[in-house]
Amino acid sequence: MNIPPGTVNPPIRNEEALRFLLTRRSRPPKTLTAPAPDRAALTELLTAAARVPDHGKLEPWRFVVLERPALERLSQAAGDYARTHGLPETVAAKGVSQLGDSPLCVVVIAVPRPTEKVPQIEQTLSVGAACLSLLNAALAAGWGAGWLTGWIAHDEGFAKTAFGLNEGEWVAGLVHIGTERMLPPDRPRPDLDRIVTWVEA
């Protein structure tokens, strides 16, 4: 199609995509059950997750996919670790159940790249974008999905061994994906009048 010079095309709205973004909501992982996406279906979701803003094309993230046998093993390991390190029982239980009850979990790992051109904060923001893109892709594909962290993500002693972290890496999110058993009620959303500033000139 030939567009005359100086012509400005009006924006083309993607109503379906906008409707999804305006109504999307995470599913609590405890409401998810099997089946989970198979490897072919998950590869599509991971492809979407990797298609995020990435200044310098550094790919400051990677994904570790935990399938059911791995989740069962790590749930047991989390319980053992919590007892050995004296974690409060209520705290320990959250990590154990998060792994043990999950149909499938993708660990999104931040991989900081040493470069002077791209500040670490920009790399961190790209990792967060990858988490959200994976979450949204799973929801858009019809799965239930939720993004959590917790002590199993932040405790360096556990996470390094459990998720195979290399030096300098850290866990940005545990994205649980499966079939939703129930639709959770929506939660109150931000009041735009409180968080938006319009600058006219």
Q: Residue 176, annotated ligand binder?
A: no
Q: Residue 23, annotated ligand binder?
A: no
Residue 65, Cβ density class (10 Å: 0-12 exposed, 13-18 middle, ≥19 buried): middle
Q: Residue 170, annotated ligand binder?
A: no
Residues 6 or more apart from 12 whose CB is under 8 A from it?
A: none
Backbone angles phi, psi at 79, to 5 degrees: -65, -40
Give the rounded distance of the alpha carbon of 45 from its chain centre. 11
As a whole number of Å, the CA-based R_g of the chain is 20
Q: Residue 25, annotated ligand binder?
A: yes
Backbone angles phi, psi at 119, to 5 degrees: -60, 150
Please state at what angle helix 68-84 crosses helix 89-100, rounded to 10 degrees.
170
Residues 6 or more apart from 103 whose CB is under 8 A from it?
A: 32, 33, 34, 35, 36, 68, 176, 177, 178, 179
Q: Residue 149, annotated ligand binder?
A: yes
Q: Residue 151, annotated ligand binder?
A: no
Q: How far is the C-alpha of 191 from the C-alpha of 108, rounded, in Å?
A: 30
User: What is the 8-class DSSP label of residue 117?
Assistant: S
Q: Which residues are annotated as a binding site?
A: 24-26, 51, 55, 147-149
Q: Which residues are annotated as a binding site for FMN?
A: 24-26, 51, 55, 147-149
